[in-house]
Amino acid sequence: MPHGLFITGTDTEVGKTLVACALIHACRRAGMRVVAMKPVAAGCYQTQDGWKNEDVEALRAAADVDAPLDEINPYRFVDAIAPHIAASRTKVAIDLPVIRERFDLLSRRADAVIVEGAGGFLVPLNEREDFGDLARALALPVVLTVGMRLGCINHALLTQEAILARGLPLVGWVANRIDPAMSVFDENLETLKQRLKAPLLGVVPRMDRPDASAVRLDLPNGQMPSTSFM
């Protein structure tokens, strides 16, 4: 039975990759073999080995199971813009069944698959579907990365509503202190603890050089949830 998590965030640039990598390390400490997946990456650069993406490379480095890049990252775009716009510009259709097929391949390679989205939960993938539809298609429970800054309470609660409206379990959330000067941080954290219907898995401090291996996060309910909740 496959196990995995879908990592989403309250916005772009809130630390989803750092949180995903930290959860990979948590799984590894629990004795699990872990592979990462970022189905769609916008903002790629050319190398001798082809087009790559910094987030994808960080996820691969954190995991202890590797796989072909086309499984880990089926869709890659050069421009760091909304995925559906990047896809339209390059005449590419982002296809959920293709992503599901690659996810199934990855789930056979490891004990758990950590999947990172792009942007926020409702960022479009194509004319009809968004990342919420992707999480549902993969039947993955969700971990929410909250970028701790002014406005995060509203963003977090709206994202929670969207996750629950899709019938997906929100199994945990992580507070990432992206603004070290945030006013009344403790009070904001306490409000989120009271209003988000999932456990706080950890608080990520502000780091000048982010290091996922140094971030200690709990696993939801102390273990990796099964993907077969639907």
What residues are labeled active site?
Answer: 38
Q: CA 57, CA 39: separation in Å to the nearest integer?
A: 13
Q: Are 220 and 171 in contact (CB under 8 A)?
A: yes
Contact 35, 113 (CB under 8 A): yes
Q: Is-contact 130 124, C-beta < 8 A?
A: yes
CA distances from 155 to 173, 178, 202 (A): 13, 14, 18
Element housing 165 (H / E): helix 152-165
The rounded distance, in Å, linking the Cα atoms of 94 and 117 is 13
| Distance between CA atoms of residues 3 and 139, nearest Å | 10
